[in-house]
Amino acid sequence: MKAVLAGFRGFVGYVGGVLGADAYKKYLEHHEASGHTSPPLTEREFWRDRTDRQDTNPQGRCC
Amino acid sequence: MGTMPDGTQGVSTHGTVQLDDGIVPDPSLPPTSVDESVRDSADRTWTPAKIALWAAIALLGGIAWFMLAIIRGETVNAIWFVFASVCTYLIGYRFYSKVIERYLLKPNDRRATPAEYKADGKDYVRTDRNVLFGHHFAAIAGAGPLVGPVIAAQMGYLPGTIWIIIGVVLAGAVQDYLVLFFSMRRGGRSLGQMAREELGVIGGTAALVATLLIMVIIVAILALVVVNALGESPWGVFSVGMTIPIALFMGVYLRFIRPGKVMEVSLIGFVLLMAAIIGGGAVAGTEWGAAFFHLDKVTIAWGLIIYGFIAAILPVWLLLAPRDYLSTFVKIGVIVMLALAIIVVRPEITVPAFSEYAGRDNGPVFSGTLFPFLFVTIACGALSGFHALIASGTTPKLIEKERQTRLIGYGGMLMESFVAIMALVAAISIDRGIYFAMNAPVALTGGTVETAAAWVNSLGLSGVNITAGDLAQTAKDVGEQSIVSRSGGAPTLAVGLAHIMQQFIGGTAMMAFWYHFAIMFEALFILTAVDAGTRVARFMLQDSIGNFVPKFKEHSRRPGAWLCTAIMVAAWGAVLIMGVTDPLGGINTLFPLFGIANQLLAAIALSVCLAIAAKRTAAKYLWVVAAPLAFAAVVTITASFYKIFSPVPAVGYFANNAAFAKALADGKTSFGTAKTQAAMEAVVRNTMIQGWLSIIFVVLSIIVIITAVMATIKALRNTAAGLPNAEHEDPARASRVFAPAGFVPTAAERNLATEWNQVPAGERLEKSGHH
């Protein structure tokens, strides 16, 4: 049962990674590691900034 | 084992790179790369178990190919397609991609990737290789590999199967791998920027203009596929239409209600999507629903054009980003499910290896001879130029270690090819008579079940005998009013998929659901591609105009942005309307243009790669790039010449134009497939535009190829004369992280990873990975 649960968690984590659901977590890690003194963006600000930057920097999708 | 040609020399060059790479690693950190000699000896040691494994893979692949290509039974089981493809991919990945790695690209894990030296926590983020593999695959896979093989099935299964599998190993995956690697070495620069740097102003400009035009054509024909799938289908129109409010809801949810809860909103969206499909059946079953959502193709085309404009000027968060999540979510699910279903159900295929049309140029699904038109028709599943735009976009900014490019670039494309094989299997698992009734234009089938059945039976195809009842029953099973002349590939794939899936889950009662599920996800992929393609094209146009009118370069300026969006939408919209109103059946005439455009883009990408490769490798290994480039160039240029010069009206645009113009001049009121004078005038207009488009494409591409060959020769001469070549790579910096290269870490990689795990987090510049 534990193994099944762990496997399921791993799968959810993987799909989340592919979708980019962990982007904020990674941003925080980067922010902390690079030793910035300013406070990081809040989760809401981060996601706003992320999609707004796509407005000016579009990426193609494949056919 | 004879796998590494010229082995000794490879070791020594590689050794030099390793020692003289000018990189000074931090002495307090463990090595950032597995020792070259250790990796080499592991690669070259052939234990009996390893030999047995690869012998088994080769044997199984060989048997599968034998079953597909040599045995001529009544039927062939679909499982052989799976074995033939997977075994060939494994061999290509293990052996051929390593040759490319070792002799051409020479990745160096001591060197930091852009995700490391440009890390910003946003665009440049080191990403776990397996996650990035999924991410990259989701970005490159779309409707293309699902549609091309279906249309190509007109010629039988074997030509398509061979090209999809062999083409990907020797061409498609090579292109993706090279572009990804070269872009990564250049800080994630785009294909257009690399073309400008390597090929100079003329080659670079030609590449840019060609890319822009090619995008317009590709968006237009993808849109045509959706229009053909939704025309006169109330169920499809309702459920695909519902994706718009669902995406809007998800966008608002993510922006205002629960920011960042991507998994949660994707699940909600997926449930709503399923509800929309099921609800679509109920709505289409009511009288008002059937009346309200029953739209003809021209209306849908106009709806799509208006939608395309609005979607491209709306902010990304509202529509594009949420639909992207939905489409990625569905993509992974569908592909896993389809693979499982094919392996479990193992349908028997009755389609011949080579059909009657393999030797002719007047097939009803697409016109033209096997060479070159089969190759341009399959396009995405074997070699896709569009991938070069992705491989030089987001992915190179996310790579953690240089050696991982082989898994992500080469491996990712093998996955896409496998999707194409599954689409082919799904399409050929349905009855051949139904296949032709679905994919031939109305002008041939007559549009009703009776005329379609009579026409199919009159073709004289072996083993084909369908009745009007068969066609009506299939339509009823999938919940459509008619399946006659639903060209474009998507409906055929949906019928095939429904046919396989219902044996897996749900039985015939579920067929209508599976059919509309398939239509839905194809439409979802295509709408995202249309929206994103319009945006990218608009930016390219703005930048180009901005060179003359600087104000246009400010992307946030509304008037400029809206005007350029309108121009791009008008451009693809015009081609779309042309395709929808074309009395010859838009897919039949336009799909080759789509394939040619895509393959020409591949030729452009490979040209840029050739020019870069010439600077960094010995001339004798350049064939790795030169061979696929030569093939793509020959195929597309020949196809373009057929389209421009062929005297056969079904093939040549200008021959067709002349035939219809002459008929008009003779005062005829109907000619060939055009029943009215207005339709005849439409053909004259369309063929003229299509003809000129072909000319422009091929001329631009030839310019790019010639400039690339010139750059290559120059680079080789410089090397021979001992002169340095201009280097556009970012300067090498020492890496401070380590991660394995493949899916499964090797023993040496595991040891090194253990060493790294003992380094206190504070001593690294950054934490390694997020796991």
ipTM associated with this complex? 0.95
- The residue segments making up the domain with residue A37 are 21-53
Whether residue A46 is contained in a domain is answered as yes
């309307």: which residue's tokens? B577
- Rounded Cα distance between B203 and B195, Å, is 7
Q: Is there a contact between B152 and B377 (Cβ–Cβ < 8 Å)?
A: yes
Helix, strand, coil percentages (3-state) for chain B, rounded to 5, are 75, 0, 25
When CB atoms are compared, the residue of A27, A47, A62 closest to B254 is: A47
Among the residue ranges B132-141, B222-231, B540-549, the one predicted with the least confidence is B540-549
Look at residue B19 in the predicted model and tell me its pLDDT: 52
Is there a domain that residue A47 lies in? Answer: yes
Confidence of residue B745 (pLDDT cuts 50, 70, 90): very high
- B window 583-642, beta carbon within 8 A of A: 598
> Which residues in chain A have their CB less than 8 angstroms from residue B536's CB?
58-60
Indicate yes or no: CB of B389 within 8 angstroms of CB of A60.
Answer: yes
Query: For the segment A10-28, what is each residue's pLDDT rounded down to a tens digit?
Result: 999 999 999 999 999 999 9
User: What is the per-residue DSSP string for B460-499?
Assistant: --TT----HHHHHHHHHHTT-S--TT--SSHHHHHHHHHH
* Residue with tokens 């034998």, as numbered in its chain: B66
* Secondary-structure percent of chain A, ordered helix, strand, coil, rounded to 5: 70, 0, 30
DSSP B674: B
Distance from CA of B14 to the nearest CA of A (A): 33
Residues of B in contact with A51 (CB under 8 A): 255, 315-317, 321
Q: Is the pLDDT of residue B16 over 50?
A: no
Identify the band that residue B633 occupies on the pLDDT scale cut at 50, 70 and 90.
very high
How far apart (Å, rounded) are the C-alpha atoms in residues A45 and B231?
A: 42
Total number of domains constituting chain A:
1
B742-755 average pLDDT score: 94
Interface touch B121/A30, C-beta < 8 Å: yes
Q: What does the pLDDT read at residue B628?
A: 98
- β-partners of residue B385 are none
Tell me the average pLDDT across B241-270.
Answer: 95
**For B511-565, how does the pLDDT look when each residue is reduced to its tens digit (9 = 90+)?**
999 999 999 999 999 999 999 999 999 998 988 888 888 888 777 678 888 999 9
pLDDT at residue B7, rounded to an integer: 38
| The token pair that represents B627 in the structure block | 């061979």
Asked if A34's CB is within 8 angstroms of B262's CB, the reply is no
Give me the half-sphere count of Cα atoms (radius 13 Å) on the Cβ side of residue B119: 28
Q: Is residue A14 part of a domain?
A: no
Half-sphere exposure of B525 (CA within 13 A, CB side): 26
B257 and A CB contact within 8 Å? no
B residues 169-208 closer than 8 Å to A (CB):
none
Interface check B22 vs A, CB under 8 A: no
Pick A61's closest partner by Cβ from B325, B528, B539. B528
Least confident of B189-198, B461-470, B672-681: B672-681
B78–chain A nearest CA distance, Å? 26
**What is the 3-class SS of B185-197, one letter each residue?**
HCCCCCHHHHHHH
- In this predicted structure, the answer to whether residue B18 has a pLDDT above a threshold of 50 is no
pLDDT at B526 (0 to 100): 94
Residue A45 is assigned to a structural domain of this protein: yes
Backbone angles phi, psi at B671, to 5 degrees: -150, 125
Q: What three-state secondary structure class fits B734?
A: strand
Residue A39 domain flag: yes
Contacts of B326 (CB under 8 A, 6+ apart): B243, B246, B247, B250, B266, B269, B270, B273, B524
- DSSP-assigned letters across all residues of B76-104: EETHHHHHHHHHHHHHIIIIIHHHIIIII
What would the pLDDT profile of B651-671 be if each residue is shown by its tens digit? 899 999 999 999 999 998 888
Question: What is the model's pLDDT at position B765?
Answer: 61
pLDDT of residue B678: 87
Q: Given pLDDT bands bounded at 50, 70 and 90, which one contains residue A1?
A: confident
Query: Hey, are the CB atoms on A19 and B262 less than 8 Å from each other?
Result: yes
| Over residues B395-417, mean pLDDT | 97
The predicted structure's pLDDT at residue A17:
94
* Residue with more model confidence, B304 or A53: B304
Report the candidate in B195, B544, B496 with the shortest Cα–Cα distance to residue B338.
B496
Rounded to whole angstroms, the Cα distance separating B56 from B50 reads: 10
> In the predicted model, what is the mean pLDDT of residues B739-757?
94
CA dihedral B330, B78, B90, B170 (to 10 degrees): -90
pLDDT (0 to 100) of residue A35: 79
| Minimal C-alpha gap between B600 and chain A (Å) | 15
Beta carbons within 10 angstroms of residue B272's beta carbon: 18
- Is A12 within a domain? no
Measured distance CA(B633)–CA(B708) in Å, rounded: 13
pLDDT given at position B516: 96
In a domain, A36, yes or no: yes
**What pLDDT band is residue B12 in, cutting at 50, 70 and 90?**
very low
Which residues from A are below 8 Å from B120, CB to CB? Answer: 30
Query: Is-contact B131 A18, C-beta < 8 A?
Result: yes
Q: Tell me whether residue A1 is in a domain.
A: no
Residues B365-387 pLDDT 10s: 998 999 999 999 998 899 999 99
